[in-house]
Amino acid sequence: MITTITFIPLVAALAIVLAPSANRGMIKILALVGTLISSVLAIQLVLHFDFGGELQFVEKYAWIPSIGVDYFLGIDGLNALLVLLVAFLSPIFVLASWKVDEKAKTYFSLLCLQITALYGAFTALNFFHWFIFWEGALVPVFFLIKLYGGDGRHKAAISFFIFTVLGSVAMLLGVLLLYLNTGSFDFIELRKLAVEGVIFEKLGVLYPTIFVAVMLGLWVKVPLFPLHPWQAAAYAEAPVAVSMVLTGVMSKMGVYGFLRLVVPVFPEAIRDYSNTLLNLTLITILWGAFLALRQSDIKRILAYSSLNHVAYCMFGIFAVGAAMGVDKINAPAIAMQGAILQMFAHGIGASGLFYVAGKMEEVGGTRDIRAFGGLGTVMPRYAFVFSFLIFSSLGLPFLAGFAAEILIFSGVFSIAPIHTGFALLGLLATAIFLLTIIQRIFTGKTNATHFGATDISYGEVLIILPLLVLTVWIGVAPSTWLILSDQFVQTLVSLLIR
């Protein structure tokens, strides 16, 4: 079933390539149908997930037995929510691109390839197999930015490519060294070897070097300070749907990699460097928030907001390292649960914000929030949707952002109270720049050039409606989603805190 879910968008991409270039309607329908079929199957799969079980829906076949490479797929408490995230968002990516007519065949085939890579990256459990999808997710985004982005698209695409490729090379070299010393590419087997102390013993003096090399590839993808310079330009210059892909899902690939590969396989390093990792994450939280305060470009503001919010995930994860060896098993479990929920909640909310930000540029011909004002009067539906998503990102109670962040801060506070205190300054700055967006765009005197602005259509409201519903659902009933990862988190934390 997982294989089917993963490769249906690829089949759609091939069908699009064979379709007549002039028939743009058929091309778009093929993309939408392909993503919808995968989404329905993925949701059905997760609905059958056994909450108390470990790895499920396993598909494992020998691929290159001589070097221990298996075609190995499965769903557990870590990736179940992320598979759902791709399932909920992928049809919306296609619908958000519906007005793309220039080189439509290239655009929609690349978008479908991207979705296949995302499903694969979240379900593959052998590094060799996983790395193919990891790199496969890079290529479509590079071309989508370079071919369809804004005025600064060429520089943004090159920066994105260089940073992520260099990170991937470092990670590949690190895992190859890990393989040469352990004989395994299997994530599950590597975790067992780490628990038994075999990896620490066999790597010896190479242990910290390999840890840093593997971590660099993931650090770039999240991204975290100081390897984040590519992020704002890529998010700002990418087409709307691609910005949604970058912030909603691709940034979560890095966080997922930490939880799948780094934390379980290198627990001693996480413990030894926990203070440094928490410090760098704290800098990212504050840096993202205060850089957002200085921006007037709406997409750059949201890009730095994403930098800030995804860093909260890492804040919760690295706190587990600081708690190792301490009798506070509930605190790291709470923080890690919050980090996993934050991946899901932020993916939903941030994707919605980039979608509605695209409407602002469409109406005013600019992304500069200083050029607006009073849009709440002429575009009330748009003002409601935008403000709703802003308040979720702000962490308003009963919305998705609050549910995830309260878990992270509750868990981290009992482990690293000083770091938590400084991180709260990031929350304050976040509140200021997000409320400034609402003030600048929707309140005050209406700019005369926008008197005739067309409000967001009911069709566009329907596109964004699933994200609004999910935002409330996560905030009001977070246990619906937390139950998916609860067993995984308890198992991982019990293995780490010894």
> 105-119, 151-165, 313-327, 423-437 — which is least confidently predicted?
313-327
Confidence of residue 324 (pLDDT cuts 50, 70, 90): low
Q: What is the pLDDT of residue 329?
A: 55
> 69-83, 250-264, 361-375, 407-421 — which is least confidently predicted?
361-375
Q: Is 52's pLDDT higher than 80?
A: no
Burial 455-466 (b: 16+ CB within 10 A, else e): bbeeebeebbee
Q: What is the pLDDT of residue 45?
A: 95
> 108-122, 355-369, 392-406 — which is least confidently predicted?
355-369
Percent of the chain with pLDDT over 70: 98
Q: Is 285's pLDDT higher than 70?
A: yes
- DSSP secondary structure, 64-105, as one string: EGGGTEEEEEEE-TTTHHHHHHHHHHHHHHHHHTTT--TTHH
Selection from 356, 348, 347 nearest residue 383 by Cα: 356
Selection from 80, 76, 122, 491 nearest residue 320 by Cα: 491
Q: What is the pLDDT of residue 386?
A: 92
Q: What is the pLDDT of residue 196?
A: 87
Confidence of residue 306 (pLDDT cuts 50, 70, 90): very high
Q: Is 50's pLDDT higher than 90?
A: no
pLDDT digits (tens, 9 = 90+) for 136-176: 999 999 999 999 998 899 999 999 999 999 999 999 999 99
HEC profile of 297-349: EHHHHHHHHHHHHHHHHHHHHHHHHHHCCCCCCHHHHHHHHHHHHHHHHHHHH
Determine the average pLDDT of the residues in 117-130.
95
Q: What is the residue whose two structure tokens read 């971590």?
A: 215
Phi and psi for 186 in degrees, rounded to 5? -75, 120
- The DSSP letter of residue 416 is -
Structure token digits, residue 381? 């539906």
The answer to whether residues 346 and 339 touch, using CB atoms and an 8 Å cutoff, is: no
The amino acid that residue 432 corresponds to is: I
What average pLDDT does the chain have?
91
pLDDT digits (tens, 9 = 90+) for 77-120: 899 999 999 999 999 999 999 999 989 999 999 999 999 999 99
Q: What is the pLDDT of residue 359?
A: 84
User: Going along 148-210, which residue ranges are E strands?
Assistant: none
Q: Is 322's pLDDT higher than 80?
A: no
Q: What is the pLDDT of residue 53?
A: 66
State the Cα–Cα distance between residues 40 and 222, nearest whole angstrom. 28
State the Cα–Cα distance between residues 418 and 413, nearest whole angstrom. 8
Q: What is the pLDDT of residue 498?
A: 58
Q: Is 328's pLDDT higher than 60?
A: no
State the Cα–Cα distance between residues 99 and 16, nearest whole angstrom. 17
First vs last C-alpha separation in the chain: 37
pLDDT digits (tens, 9 = 90+) for 178-203: 999 999 999 999 999 998 889 988 89
**Beta pairing, strands 69-75 & 56-64:** antiparallel
- The DSSP letter of residue 422 is H
